Structure 1
Amino acid sequence: MVVSRFLKWIYTAKVAERAAAAAALARAYVNADLPFEDRCAAEAALTFLLDDASSKVRQAMAEALSMSRHAPLHVVTALAADQPEVAGVVLARSPLLSDADLIDRVAGGSSATQALIADRPVVSMQLSAAIAEIGDAEPCVVLLANNGADIASLSFRRMAERHGHVAAVREALIADSRLPADCRHMLLVRIGEALKGSPLVLALMGQARADRLMRDACIKASVTLIDGTQPQEHAALAEHLRLRGDLTASFIVRTLAHGKVDFFGSVLVALTGQAEQRVRALLAGGHDTALQALFAKAGLSLSTHAILIRALKVWREVANGKRVAGVQEVSWLMLKELGGQAAQGELASLVKAIHLDALRENARGHALAIAAA
């Protein structure tokens, strides 16, 4: 009876009055223990109000129904497809909307709509995948900032591939501890490409020097990246680098000089196709002849074999507690294999550069320690 009078009254009521009444009716529906007949009548009235000419009325309904599991599903679904100011609150909150409903809204919605969905308290892996695949850059940033979002490794890769050129997305991805190592490397490369294409960098250095410096910087950053990579991700990162053509002799020599023996093993597995167990055994205790055969199968030139074996032997001794050494000492011994400071050639220049970098890093650390004392 009350609902009957309500439906007659709304034809003459003002917008503000209709909105307040719609909100009250919606709250009564989801919160009150209404008799069955009154509940059916209230549901009919809410359905009728979906056709109200004012979006403020529908927005008031959306506010009242958006967080309830007891709201009428067909009403919530209709509100979710309404104008942005009406649909937004439902898309952001309603527990009644399924992943299929939300994915449809992601596919057909604006960037603002996608961002609302990405910021829901819980975002499933399937919904995250949809946002990563078709969402704009801003919703992807929102998704990455959402602690309630379950994001698959593939979705991280898709966001890096699609929006890696956008600074805000790069920053959000790099700040996420769940980001796979190969995605981190992809973003490092994107940053390098952006820097070397900067008009300021080109004006200061020229194209050739900028290319060389950025390539060297990316190699150094890639080696540093290994420190933050879980051992179980080594194989995936090595394969990613192989497919990109980044497993160069320069990168491999630098990797072993820095003591990344486990990752060095993953690189050899990727390059040779040998069983991981066999490669690990050779690195742990294989003789020089067997190691040289392994390096040759990996495509490493003969000129690199001696310094790689020298570095490997030192790191074996360090691992076994027979020696204390770091990058500075290892790179010096590698350089001695090539003839010391008088050595010439591209490989010698690389090892010298690694040694000088280690000297500078150690000196910097020493200075900071003195300053802090």
Structure 2
Amino acid sequence: MTLRQFLLSTQTASSERRAEAAAALGRAYCHGNLAPEAAWEAKTALLALLDDGSTLVRRALAEACAASDAAPRPLIVALASDQPEIACLVLARSPVLMDADLVDCAAIGCETTRSAIAGRADISMPVAAALAEVGGAPSLTVLVRNGYAKIGVAALLRIVERHGDDARLREALLARPGIGIEVRHAIAARVAEALSAFGLASGWLSRERGERVHREARDCAALSLSDEAGEAGLARLVSHLRAQGQLNAGLILRAILTLRMPFAETALADLSGLSRARVAGLMFEPRGAGFAALHRRAGLPPLLLPAIQAALSAWREAATGDAEIEGPRLARRMIERALTACDDMPFAESRSLMALLARFEAEAAREEARVHARALADEAERDAIRRVEADERHLSGFLPEAVAIPTPDAISDRLSRVLDGLPDAIIASYRAEQERRQAETAGAVLDGLSDALMASFMASREPVPDSGAAPAVELAPASEPTAEAPMLLAAPSREPAAQDGPALVESLISESILASYRPSHLRLAA
């Protein structure tokens, strides 16, 4: 079929038939290895189908050519700008689209098309940055959860800045591996901000107190992250805090009073421009002129110098062994020294600093109480474990070893081996005693029967000549019962419910017992 014939046929056919023809032509072009002239005609026909008014035709084109790298680029670019249900098919899979195409589609598209772009397996950093600037929370959540997407730290920070209040997006960010310590701190800051805003909206906090809670929670998050960061991560965190305007004197003072000396060294080195090793040496000699110069060079307020010097002096005493304290107790002593150093200052100047130190002291006291409580709980648990172990050792001297209960088959095998090892005389004596006891038991039963019933029973033992009468009950073969082979009785020929008394008795008593009973019974009757 020529190009003209194909186009003429599509003008008169229904939309469903045109969609089928478009899909077949698209597959033939992408996977049919057509000759150059036929390929040109097929490409022209595909581009002409873009003007078809039916979405079924354009959707069929998108489905046929979306995953092929041989699809005509003009066709894919045009389909990428079509309706969202059609554009998403090519935006999510087409290898023909370049980064510029994806960035343009993200800029002019909707959240549905942006989500399709964000789910691609080849998202580059420029495309991710573009989505971070224009995307909404749904498409950015898809982007963050895409493990194949390459997202830079700047793009992640921009995502947190624009939509950090979305809980699902924060959860997806924290679940993404390797997001960087700066991004984690930004997420923690947004969580603190959200909690402060919630308390303010609920009427639980005033505006001033909410701001202070937000600021202190953000600083505590930064110091907590610094505990698990290496040297490189610590430098990145300090640079991020300085860029965000959060590396202030209060944070440095909190770091010193909570024994986060690596963070304080890195922060002072970043602010002063000195090396970290030089800063560490000056902090170890806080009363010297060098530390005062470092304090001024870092831009810290002069009001903080006496408090920081007093706190670092207490820390130096513990480090050199002059004071054998550590952990929360050392932090409390440093805070107490800082508060004492503020006593000589004018109250108007030191009021805010002493209030801050008082809050630090309360936090240190609570942390010390938590550590002590955890230590007591751990010690109690260890004591309980030691007592249980001691009881087990004590009982092990009295309790026998565990004995396995034999199975019925094992008991039977063991009894058979025991019987095989006994002499024949003992086994014969045992069997005779068993027969005697059985005969005595049957005799006791028969003695309890009435004479009329016995007469009826004896009469039933006589042969009946009538052939129509019910046959007598047959007993088992006349072999003596043994211990290994107990006595077996033949089943009666009639149902037990229909049998009379004598027949039922006869069916339950062996012939040998009856034979031994008759002479004694007749003798007693005479």
What is the match of residue 162 of structure 2?
A: 162
Q: Does structure 2 conserve the Cα–Cα contact (< 8 Å) formed by 1:291 and 1:309?
A: no
Highest RCO, 1 vs 2 (Cα 8 Å, sep ≥ 6)? 1
Q: Residues 268 and 61 from structure 1, CA distance in 2 versus in 1: closer, same or farther, beyond 3 angstroms?
A: same
Matches within 5 A, 1:95-174: 95-174=95-174
Q: Residues 32 and 363 from structure 1, CA distance in 2 versus in 1: closer, same or farther, beyond 3 angstroms?
A: farther
What is the match of residue 334 of structure 2?
A: 334
Alignment: residue pair count:
366
What is the match of residue 353 of structure 1?
A: 362
Q: Which runs of 5+ in 1 are unaligned?
A: none
Query: Hey, what's the Cα distance between the residues in 1 that align with 2:28 and 2:7?
Result: 16
What is the match of residue 404 of structure 2?
A: none
Q: Does structure 2 conserve the Cα–Cα contact (< 8 Å) formed by 1:250 and 1:350?
A: no
1:302 to 297, 306, 325: 306
Instruction: Please state if 1:189 is matched with 2:189.
Output: yes
Q: Residues 339 and 118 from structure 1, CA distance in 2 versus in 1: closer, same or farther, beyond 3 angstroms?
A: closer
What is the match of residue 85 of structure 2?
A: 85
Query: Hey, what's the Cα distance between the residues in 2 that align with 1:297 and 1:270?
Result: 11
Give the superposition deviation at 1:31.
1.6
Query: Hey, what's the Cα distance between the residues in 1 that align with 2:193 and 2:33?
Result: 63
Matches within 5 A, 1:1-373: 1=1, 5-198=5-198, 202-242=202-242, 244-283=244-283, 288-289=287-288, 290-298=290-298, 299=300, 300-311=304-315, 314=318, 327-335=327-335, 337-338=337-338, 345-346=354-355, 348-363=357-372, 365-366=374-375, 369=378
Q: Does structure 2 conserve the Cα–Cα contact (< 8 Å) formed by 1:115 and 1:143?
A: yes
Letter in 1 for 2:120: R
Greater mean deviation of Cα atoms: 209-218 or 105-114: 209-218
Q: Does structure 2 conserve the Cα–Cα contact (< 8 Å) formed by 1:195 and 1:201?
A: no
State the Cα deviation string for residues 221-244 of structure 1 (Å, max 9, x = none). 221122344432433432443455
Give the superposition deviation at 1:111.
1.8
Query: Hey, what's the Cα distance between the residues in 1 that align with 2:264 and 2:172?
Result: 29
Tell me the SS of whatever aligns to 2:11. coil
Tell me the SS of whatever aligns to 1:93. coil
* Higher gyration radius (CA): 2
Q: Does structure 1 conserve the Cα–Cα contact (< 8 Å) formed by 2:292 and 2:305?
A: no
Give the superposition deviation at 1:297.
3.8
State the Cα deviation string for residues 333-357 of structure 1 (Å, max 9, x = none). 42453589xx994365244224223
Give the superposition deviation at 1:255.
1.8
What is the match of residue 453 of structure 2?
A: none
Letter in 1 for 2:308: T
Give the superposition deviation at 1:97.
0.4
Give the superposition deviation at 1:17.
1.9
Give the superposition deviation at 1:245.
4.7
Letter in 1 for 2:210: A
Query: Hey, what's the Cα distance between the residues in 1 that align with 2:21 and 2:329?
Result: 79
What CA RMSD, in Å, does the superposition of the two structures yield over aligned residues?
A: 3.3
Letter in 2 for 1:359: E
Q: Residues 200 and 266 from structure 1, CA distance in 2 versus in 1: closer, same or farther, beyond 3 angstroms?
A: closer
Letter in 1 for 2:153: S
Greater mean deviation of Cα atoms: 324-333 or 21-30: 324-333
Q: Does structure 1 conserve the Cα–Cα contact (< 8 Å) formed by 2:219 and 2:251?
A: yes
Query: Hey, what's the Cα distance between the residues in 2 that align with 1:323 and 1:281?
Result: 20
Greater mean deviation of Cα atoms: 235-244 or 152-161: 235-244
Tell me the SS of whatever aligns to 2:29. helix
Greater mean deviation of Cα atoms: 9-18 or 56-65: 9-18
Give the superposition deviation at 1:292.
4.5
Give the superposition deviation at 1:197.
2.4
Q: Does structure 1 conserve the Cα–Cα contact (< 8 Å) formed by 2:118 and 2:142?
A: yes
Letter in 1 for 2:361: K
Q: Does structure 2 conserve the Cα–Cα contact (< 8 Å) formed by 1:254 and 1:354?
A: no
Q: Residues 31 and 166 from structure 1, CA distance in 2 versus in 1: closer, same or farther, beyond 3 angstroms?
A: same
Q: Does structure 2 conserve the Cα–Cα contact (< 8 Å) formed by 1:256 and 1:312?
A: no
Q: Residues 196 and 81 from structure 1, CA distance in 2 versus in 1: closer, same or farther, beyond 3 angstroms?
A: same
Q: Does structure 2 conserve the Cα–Cα contact (< 8 Å) formed by 1:92 and 1:116?
A: yes
Q: Does structure 1 conserve the Cα–Cα contact (< 8 Å) formed by 2:185 and 2:222?
A: yes
Query: Hey, what's the Cα distance between the residues in 1 that align with 2:146 and 2:223?
Result: 30
Q: Which runs of 5+ in 2 are unaligned?
A: 344-350, 386-526
Tell me the SS of whatever aligns to 1:274. coil
Give the superposition deviation at 1:110.
1.2
Q: Residues 202 and 47 from structure 1, CA distance in 2 versus in 1: closer, same or farther, beyond 3 angstroms?
A: closer
Q: Would you tell me which structure has more helix in proportion to its own residues?
A: 1
Greater mean deviation of Cα atoms: 191-200 or 297-306: 191-200
